[in-house]
Structure 1
């Protein structure tokens, strides 16, 4: 398994890049979030990778952060979700946004990504529930559940997803649901 590539970036042709590593050029598919963070051609680059071996091809996928790679691996484990759909999701949503959508069970957010229909979004939400969170920079354990409940309460009260997500992201992890809702509403009232 190729887990990491370090070399010179030769070419960027979205969604693929070419990296020279010891005289061998590796074609690596990357999500747009990784692509935008890469240096100019000719510069050194290091990426975490995931190799998929099929009968007809070896495909190498690159990621800027461990969280992106873990999200990709979680996505491709889901039946009916291949590498292309996983890359599309990670290109359309940050890892944090994906984790929030799963926590909030927000299928509409996922269907905004090209190639993701309603049924695929529902399958993703079902399969990823409880699997994304602490590993992807979300508060761990009960704090994640409390923050998800606060987010749902704010959405039910009519606040926009953007407003609610921003406020919930600033809450201390140890705050319970009731105190979280109170503090979030105070913050929103001041805005």
Structure 2
């Protein structure tokens, strides 16, 4: 198994990069979140997952170990392959994905290309208990718990409907400490925090 690669980026063509490691060029598929984290760096280390099928050996790369861990949890779900898992991680960051599962927000998950409402519900059922037990190395990934306020997930969906990215909406809501607010009040507060 190839667990981590460090080398020089020869070519970027989302979702694929070509990474030169000691003279060997590895084609690696990465989620868009990893592309954003790479920036303009030429030297790069990626945590990798090797998927072996009859017709191909495919490497998937992630800037953070947490992304790789979530990717592996996603592909354990029946019916979710590596490409769909990559699409999910490209659409939602770690915090948004974990919050969507914890808050049973199938609407947000279904906005991912290749994921329908039934698949989103299946993801929630299969991942809910597993993600709670998951040990992520980045302690800054604070997930909004459903017990705090059920209106938070509604406000998050509303902010995304207004055009905010999942990560941005999550950040706007994370500042709010009063968990008794209604959905409308949460949206108003979040817009003030923009």
User: 2:30 is matched with which residue?
Assistant: 30
Q: Secondary structure of 2:8's partner?
A: strand
Is 1:130 the equivalent of 2:135?
no
- Greater C-alpha Rg: 1
Q: Is the 8 A contact 2:9 2:43 kept in 1?
A: yes
Aligned mates of 1:99, 1:167 — CA distance in 2: 17
Aligned mates of 1:67, 1:150 — CA distance in 2: 24
Cα root mean square deviation, aligned: 2.8
Aligned mates of 2:152, 2:47 — CA distance in 1: 37
User: 1:149 is matched with which residue?
Assistant: 147
Alpha-carbon offset, residue 55 of structure 1: 2.1
1:89-120 deviations in whole A, cap 9, x for unaligned? Answer: 00001011000000000000011111111111
Q: Is the 8 A contact 1:147 1:168 kept in 2?
A: no
User: 1:108 is matched with which residue?
Assistant: 107
- In the alignment, structure 2 segments of 5+ residues that lack a partner are 161-168
1:35-79 deviations in whole A, cap 9, x for unaligned? Answer: 1222447x2111110111222211100001111001100000011
Change (3 A) 1:6 1:111: same
1:3-47 deviations in whole A, cap 9, x for unaligned? Answer: 100011000111110000011000000001101222447x21111
- In the alignment, structure 1 segments of 5+ residues that lack a partner are 173-179
Aligned mates of 2:76, 2:48 — CA distance in 1: 16
User: 2:163 is matched with which residue?
Assistant: none
User: 1:91 is matched with which residue?
Assistant: 90
Listed as ranges, the matches of 1:1-191 within 5 Å are 1-40=1-40, 43-133=42-132, 135-136=135-136, 137=139, 138=141, 147-154=145-152, 159-161=155-157, 162=159, 165-166=170-171, 169-170=174-175, 181-182=179-180
Q: Is the 8 A contact 1:9 1:40 kept in 2?
A: no
The count of aligned residue pairs is 174
Q: Is the 8 A contact 1:4 1:49 kept in 2?
A: yes
Alpha-carbon offset, residue 159 of structure 1: 4.3
